[in-house]
Structure 1
């Protein structure tokens, strides 16, 4: 028989989950389209995208734990981490829960968390005096942002040194990150910090009481982000190339013009 395109009522998400478990264990990021193809190959039925997606979520929860369990065990995991690596650094900020304007006793909600593994802290010491910070959105059940600080060693390898999970790229979130980064990891002066042109980063640096300002540190904008923003605004690839080349120029003329470009489309 050829492939039956119509879904089968008894081919539910639990049955599919059992069938695709080895695939998800091997690759948790497997695409739903691949799950549909696997079901098609095994059962000769084409299941809906929704059913395949639900089956994958069930496998992920069984193998790796669901979102609720992960958040509940976070403090335990961090405690074990600091026991195994005693000089790792962790900072957790929680908020109270209110019911009808009254604080609920004994319950706190995770607000943001900073951590740096001790090997990352040690790895920073012989690296270049440069730190680059950036963030990315989280797309799980609970939204938020992951902020990361990286550096570069003498052989051009990228070394991650600190991590933060926050509610979003706000000034308070960046201040929380940069404060703990300065306190626990980047403890020396004369360092350069590279970022995109997000206003919340500028605000956090301004509120750092000089910790990330000259002469203790110098804040620089990432030329890749500047070039990307320039291209998005003006849509001229040949000028985009000139902007990037100007930004990486090491002579005085290029430096002057790179500052001009950075502010030309504010």
Structure 2
């Protein structure tokens, strides 16, 4: 009934809506239109039967509205379900465009947003709920292709956390690495209650047990107290010689600025971290010390191995920041307002798409290499035959 009136550009008013009866009239009934309908549910026939119907609407709207009263959020939610299943983080503007293309009406931003929330809840939560369900406290997950991929990546891991901002609060913790072609590889996720010491210990313990199983790995993070506390209680899993914990130089710069309110020294702090030789480090360190001795006293509380290239032993692989993982946080921004199951599925679909694309690229390169090899081989054979003919003719 709604679909009919929306597409015809007419409207009706419900006078009776019961489990076995539906009765409605045109909003212009008695003023230029006699459309009405009465429908009854036939229990024996297991169907609805139209008992009274006056034919098509004869009214015309005085004004053309951009929206339709019967195009409510429930109707829109049913219409956009296929889109939400494919991409749970679909933008509200895309929902509005889809409705406009399908129904020829432009709905409000609020109606589109509400419809998206209902579609997400219906797809990922509605029918899967069971009585006496147990509520999770934290969840860690990784995918086997990601675990395998890390074996071929640089022995470097960057971790960071970002807040969820939908109906369900908490933090999303992410770990990334990078392969030899500088492709970012997501290797693990976790949803936790917040960036607490317990939450980071949960994440890093599972990361070490299930994904980062080799030794000699560099771990880069910010200087959050909870991360340092979690590493301290890791029983050596994230400490030398098994792993080397280092800090993002941008976070050290930010902490320095918050402490001393000296923006003119920010660049010098960063340059100290980027020093590649001991001499270069000492020169810049003394320059900072000459300004105010308290500056270097504060910096001395941080081990040089944790922020300076000259002393990192090569375990940073040249990475001074956590930019890799922060890039991923921005990519997942549209999914951070989803329920837990929808968020997990969003990571699965996006990683599946990534690995599928990378596999196609790899196969294309392999095929191109085979074609090139065959061309080179055939050319060599032709040259050899030509050389053999020349030798024979000279001999003759």
Q: Same fold (TM over 0.5)?
A: yes
Q: 1:185 and 1:41, CA in 2 relative to 1: closer, same or farther beyond 3 A?
A: closer
Which protein shows a greater Rg?
2
Larger fraction in strand: 1
- For the pair 1:32 / 2:92, whether they are aligned, the reply is yes
Q: How does 1:236-255 map to 2 (within 5 A)?
A: 236=263, 239-253=265-279, 255=281
Once the two structures are TM-superposed, the CA of residue 120 in structure 1 deviates from its matched residue by 2.4
Once the two structures are TM-superposed, the CA of residue 242 in structure 1 deviates from its matched residue by 4.2
Aligned to 1:200, which of 226, 236, 257? 226
Partner of 2:175: 149
Aligned to 1:117, which of 116, 119, 143? 143
Q: 1:43 and 1:173, CA in 2 relative to 1: closer, same or farther beyond 3 A?
A: same
Partner of 2:77: 17
Partner of 1:77: none
Unaligned runs of 5+ in 1: 74-105
Per chain length, whose mean CA-contact separation is higher, i.e. which structure has more relative contact order (CA < 8 Å, sep 6+)?
2
Q: 1:21 and 1:68, CA in 2 relative to 1: closer, same or farther beyond 3 A?
A: closer
Partner of 2:209: 183
In 2: Cα distance, 1:23 partner to 1:37 partner: 12
Once the two structures are TM-superposed, the CA of residue 170 in structure 1 deviates from its matched residue by 0.7
Once the two structures are TM-superposed, the CA of residue 14 in structure 1 deviates from its matched residue by 2.0
Secondary structure of residue in 2 paired with 1:143: coil
1:205-264: CA deviations, max 9, x gaps? Answer: 11112221223222100123334555677484x654444343223122555649959848
1:89-135: CA deviations, max 9, x gaps? Answer: xxxxxxxxxxxxxxxxx864311222333332232223222211111
How many residue pairs get aligned? The number is 229
Once the two structures are TM-superposed, the CA of residue 138 in structure 1 deviates from its matched residue by 2.1
- For the pair 1:50 / 2:76, whether they are aligned, the reply is no
In 2: Cα distance, 1:15 partner to 1:223 partner: 51
Partner of 2:197: 171
Unaligned runs of 5+ in 2: 1-61, 289-294, 303-396
Q: 1:157 and 1:36, CA in 2 relative to 1: closer, same or farther beyond 3 A?
A: closer
Deviates more, 1:238-247 or 1:47-56: 238-247
Once the two structures are TM-superposed, the CA of residue 33 in structure 1 deviates from its matched residue by 3.8
1:50-106: CA deviations, max 9, x gaps? Answer: 3221112223334x423783xx69xxxxxxxxxxxxxxxxxxxxxxxxxxxxxxxx8
Aligned-residue CA RMSD (Å): 3.8
- For the pair 1:66 / 2:92, whether they are aligned, the reply is no
Q: 1:189 and 1:254, CA in 2 relative to 1: closer, same or farther beyond 3 A?
A: farther
Once the two structures are TM-superposed, the CA of residue 202 in structure 1 deviates from its matched residue by 0.5
In 2: Cα distance, 1:34 partner to 1:66 partner: 22
Once the two structures are TM-superposed, the CA of residue 8 in structure 1 deviates from its matched residue by 4.2
Deviates more, 1:107-116 or 1:187-196: 107-116
Q: 1:184 and 1:46, CA in 2 relative to 1: closer, same or farther beyond 3 A?
A: closer
Q: 1:252 and 1:4, CA in 2 relative to 1: closer, same or farther beyond 3 A?
A: farther
Q: 1:119 and 1:29, CA in 2 relative to 1: closer, same or farther beyond 3 A?
A: closer
